[in-house]
Structure 1
Amino acid sequence: MRVLAARTADTVTFHAVELFKQATALQRRGIDIISLGVGEPDFTAAPQVIQAMQLAAQSGKSGYSPPAGLPELREAIAEFYTKQLGAKVDPHRVIVTSGASGALLLAAMALVNPGDEVLMPDPCYPPNRNFVGAAGGTTKLIPTTIANRFQLSDTDIEQHWGPATRGVLIASPSNPTGTSIPREALARLIKQVHARNGFVMMDEIYLSLSYDGVRQSALALDDNLIILNSFSKYFNMTGWRLGWMIVPTHMVEPIEKMAASLAICAPTLAQHGAIACFDPEALAIFEQRREAFRQRRDYLVPALKALNIDVPVTPDGAFYVYGDISAHSPDSSAFSAALLNGARVAAVAGLDFGPAHAANTMRFAYTTGLERLQEAIHRLKVFLG
């Protein structure tokens, strides 16, 4: 048997997978586990979306779509940006992909050459590094600070940009912190990167799940960005595997060619369903769910603080709280295991998101109902004494 390619060993492991395996094993034994670990909404696709997909299937619309996606869906996404996210977008620049992961893979393949370096914040979503690696590049994780809301700054770009650096990948709001980059700070960061002829890949997967202030795409600041987004989080369609990217005009044709070669197209039935996401009735449902997430955040943050789990930066988006557990343990991985086995609560240790804050942080996801969150806090209170 042939030896496996070196990239299989270089792939960043998501340690939370082992936590979820252990939690599942306990649940199979009849033990009730409250998961604050999974970054997946507890809501499912809106009824309008399901009905649209069913109608498409019944009508035989299950063949390949164009590689860039159904024109009607691209137009709907562009209109959503114009009306909801404060940025005028030409539908031609929208590429529909197999999840945001598909968008990130295409972006990395289009922009990163072997040996190139991409800057990312520490902490950040771990699989992002794997997409850069798949293109032959490397990732440089830059430790972030509470003062900068666990986000990169223009000063970070100045200090860490090297001869091999080609660009930056940032998320706002972020996984795992739930924090956004203030508008003025983001503008300064983009300016620094573009002054070095670099690219900015902007993960806006959680942008529509922002709770404080105006929801506005980074495209409102600068048109020369690569935007990554998804139907998974705000639109509650995780298993449908559908996302999109918005790219500068000169990148459209190369991205389309790669999309046709790598995936042919995103799932067509999912695309037909997704068009219904932008119906007013469906958008009203998503907004009600966003409000439910806001209420959960407003409960969980002070509840964790009352348990001496500090939340140094209040999250303004996504559905995560990034907590400091150093008052209870010097080892977040051991503390995560203790919570699972002692309190029957699953939460993710900071190790997954980068080494800078790994030992003393954990990610708590409020992707379960308010009553279950309250029960989780009760269990933690009893466990921690």
Structure 2
Amino acid sequence: MMSHPLASRLDQIAPFHVMEILKMAKALEQQGRHLIHMGIGEPDFTAPPAVVDAAASAMRDGRLQYTTALGIPELRSAIAKHYRDAFNVEVPEHRIIVTAGASAALLLACGALVQPGAEVLMPDPSYPCNRHFVAAFEGKAKLVNSGAEQRYQLSAAAVREHWTAQTAGVLLATPSNPTGTTIQPDELKAILQEVRARDGFAIVDEIYQGLTYDHAPSTVLTIDQDAIVINSFSKYFSMTGWRLGWMVVPEHMVAAVEKLAQNWFICPSSIAQYAAVACFEPQQIAIFEARKAEMQTRRDYLVPALRELGFSIPVTPDGAFYVYANCSALTDDADHFAKDVLQKAGVVITPGQDFGPFTAKDHVRFSYANSLDNLKEAVRRLAEYLKQGS
């Protein structure tokens, strides 16, 4: 049977290498092995009871029809109030667009902004799907080597150095996956000034915004109201499987993004939207803040424990729930190391190759979205593994 050729854009989209690790992990678990998962970026907490109750209430009341493509007014209003209360910034409700997860928001942003052949600057390392969203619209993600000296983030100097006639904008993440680092406010302001001076766009991924430690969370909107902001209910709000997020866009982009959202998604899940309104109630915020404190306790345990084992962590992560660790003192192949740790120690970690070539061979990512007891057991297993000469 003859098959039609697939679109050439698929050549620009790499598979998730970590999926090989996860397949190996699943096979080991089916054999009865007990594994400690530090690979997936998913909170081990779930939506609070009041959020679940709000979803059940919406179903009982029959609020199950399509909503507008931009989201229900109650949720857009609650998000606008959240910006006022948490960040002291006014964001008009009509500029807030509720999406089917942050992934949909990134897709919409790239669909509205990325021309074929256009370059978008982003740091290496960075979340792999970000560059693939750019590639989906025949743009080119231009990865800029960003080491510990730059907090593994894009810098204003890097924007000046790497901007070309083909560059259209930047895609940033603060806090970042995989590094857990934020962009310092003065540096972020300088980056945006460089971008604006070149008439470029700035997409800022803030999906780990609520999970910042050592300092209060912030938003780029206090610096630049024309930045395109991406956010999510998956991380701080613990609603990964509900597939709900939002974006804030400048006035001139609202109609364009609405048109794309109508055609691509119709609307986000109505049930998830009605449930998410409850997230912003004071009682639920108190729960999320307590969970954030627990995440910080885990970070404060894991970072020094990994350093003691021989991992180099030159920048203490101040957000999200990741530690991006240099393992070059322990191995010359991070991918092999991750697989060997899985097989011999029963600990699931993510090799750096998913996050860009610059740090691929000598970094691994640890997720501390797991209980403190499990983290301590993982460290014990890693210590035993390293003691035996790996």
Task: Indicate the TM-score class for this superposition, using the shorter chain for normalisation.
Answer: over 0.9
Q: What TM-score do the two structures reach when normalised by structure 2?
A: 0.98
Matched to 1:382, the amino acid is E
**Maintained 8 Å contact 2:38/2:368:** yes
**Maintained 8 Å contact 1:204/1:228:** yes
**Maintained 8 Å contact 1:169/1:203:** yes
Q: SS at 1:61's partner residue?
A: coil
Q: What TM-score do the two structures reach when normalised by structure 1?
A: 0.99
For residue 160 of structure 1, report the CA deviation from its aligned partner. 0.1
Within the candidate set 246, 250, 256, 2:258 is matched to 256
* Partner in structure 2 of residue 57 of structure 1: 59
**Structure 2 residue 46 is matched with structure 1 residue 44:** yes
For residue 145 of structure 1, report the CA deviation from its aligned partner. 2.1
* Partner in structure 1 of residue 215 of structure 2: 213
Q: SS at 2:149's partner residue?
A: coil
For residue 9 of structure 1, report the CA deviation from its aligned partner. 2.8
For residue 240 of structure 1, report the CA deviation from its aligned partner. 0.3
For residue 85 of structure 1, report the CA deviation from its aligned partner. 2.7
CA–CA distance in 2 between the matches of 1:310 and 1:301?
A: 10
* Partner in structure 1 of residue 181 of structure 2: 179
**Maintained 8 Å contact 1:12/1:127:** no
Within the candidate set 8, 16, 19, 1:17 is matched to 19
CA–CA distance in 1 between the matches of 2:4 and 2:355?
A: 32
CA–CA distance in 2 between the matches of 1:140 and 1:72?
A: 39
Matched to 1:306, the amino acid is E
After superposition, give the CA deviation of every residue in 1:284-320 in whole Å (9 maximum; x if it has no partner).
1101100010000000000000100111100000000
Q: SS at 2:210's partner residue?
A: helix
Which 5+ residue runs of structure 2 have no aligned equivalent? none
Q: SS at 1:119's partner residue?
A: strand
**Maintained 8 Å contact 1:86/1:216:** no
For residue 214 of structure 1, report the CA deviation from its aligned partner. 2.0
Within the candidate set 308, 322, 336, 1:334 is matched to 336
For residue 6 of structure 1, report the CA deviation from its aligned partner. 1.2
**Maintained 8 Å contact 1:86/1:217:** no
For residue 21 of structure 1, report the CA deviation from its aligned partner. 1.0
CA–CA distance in 2 between the matches of 1:344 and 1:218?
A: 40
**Maintained 8 Å contact 1:49/1:277:** yes
Find runs of 4+ consecutive structure 1 residues off by over 6 angstroms. none
**Maintained 8 Å contact 1:87/1:216:** no
Within the candidate set 12, 24, 27, 2:29 is matched to 27
* Partner in structure 1 of residue 128 of structure 2: 126
For residue 38 of structure 1, report the CA deviation from its aligned partner. 0.5
Q: SS at 1:184's partner residue?
A: helix
Any residues of structure 2 matched to 1:1-385 within 5 Å, and which? Answer: 1-385=3-387
CA–CA distance in 2 between the matches of 1:372 and 1:85?
A: 34
**Maintained 8 Å contact 2:9/2:138:** no
After superposition, give the CA deviation of every residue in 1:195-214 in whole Å (9 maximum; x if it has no partner).
00000000000011001112
After superposition, give the CA deviation of every residue in 1:351-375 in whole Å (9 maximum; x if it has no partner).
1101111111010000110000000
**Maintained 8 Å contact 1:326/1:361:** yes
Which 5+ residue runs of structure 1 have no aligned equivalent? none
Matched to 2:373, the amino acid is E
After superposition, give the CA deviation of every residue in 1:211-253 in whole Å (9 maximum; x if it has no partner).
1112110100111100000000000000000000000011111
CA–CA distance in 1 between the matches of 2:24 and 2:87?
A: 40
CA–CA distance in 2 between the matches of 1:337 and 1:148?
A: 29
CA–CA distance in 1 between the matches of 2:379 and 2:222?
A: 40
Q: SS at 1:141's partner residue?
A: strand
Deviates more, 1:63-72 or 1:11-20: 11-20
Matched to 1:289, the amino acid is R
CA–CA distance in 2 between the matches of 1:324 and 1:372?
A: 22
Q: SS at 2:168's partner residue?
A: strand
The alignment-based identity, stated in percent, is 49
CA–CA distance in 2 between the matches of 1:43 and 1:11?
A: 31
Q: SS at 2:47's partner residue?
A: coil
CA–CA distance in 2 between the matches of 1:247 and 1:63?
A: 26
After superposition, give the CA deviation of every residue in 1:144-196 in whole Å (9 maximum; x if it has no partner).
02121111111000000011100000000000000001100100000000000
For residue 10 of structure 1, report the CA deviation from its aligned partner. 2.2
Matched to 1:259, the amino acid is A
**Maintained 8 Å contact 2:47/2:237:** yes
For residue 12 of structure 1, report the CA deviation from its aligned partner. 2.0
Give the CA RMSD over aligned residues.
0.7
